[in-house]
Amino acid sequence: MARPKRILLATAQETSSPPAVLESGLTIARVQKAEGKNLYLVELPSSSKPPLLVELPSRFRSQIWIKRGGFVVVDTTAFEDRDNKLDGEIVNIVRDEKVWRKQAYWPPEFVKKSQYLEDSEEEESTVGKMPPIDDSESDG
């Protein structure tokens, strides 16, 4: 039997706005890939560390989908006392990325890069320009 719609809406509302401050032990991470069975491989802002295997809690399962390259808030202290392969638990899912990026705790490593190349003096763009005139064609 499906969960009531009010639970789905409450979960969606809970993840829509970022918290004012991240608690200790919580980190923003980028999802690299889904490992299956509600397990995800995430990369932390400091890329010197290996990717972490984190678990999606039951309150998010089959309600909010996580895409590859998306961002999540991970609690790395959740499974410290257990001896298993899991490195943490997903606490929140970043849905409105624009709002989250404005927060002071957003890692500078995850700053969105511009899609357009910056102007370089080496290459001159030919977009919107006529092809060069060849003098040999005009003589003949």
pTM given for the model: 0.71
- HSE-CB at 66 with a 13 A cutoff on CA atoms is 30
Spatial separation of the C-alpha atoms in residues 110 and 100, rounded to whole Å? 11
> What is the model's pLDDT at position 118?
56
pLDDT bucket at 123, cuts 50 / 70 / 90: low
Amino acid at 38: N
Mean pLDDT of the chain: 81
Q: b/e per residue, 17-49, with b = 16+ CB within 10 A? A: ebeeebeeebbbbbbeeeeeebebbbbbeeeee
pLDDT tens for 20-50 read 888 888 999 999 999 988 999 999 988 777 8
Write the CB contacts of 85 (distance below 8 Å, at least 6 apart in sequence).
53
User: Does the pLDDT of residue 113 top 70, yes or no?
Assistant: no
- HSE-CB at 33 with a 13 A cutoff on CA atoms is 2
> What is the model's pLDDT at position 25?
87
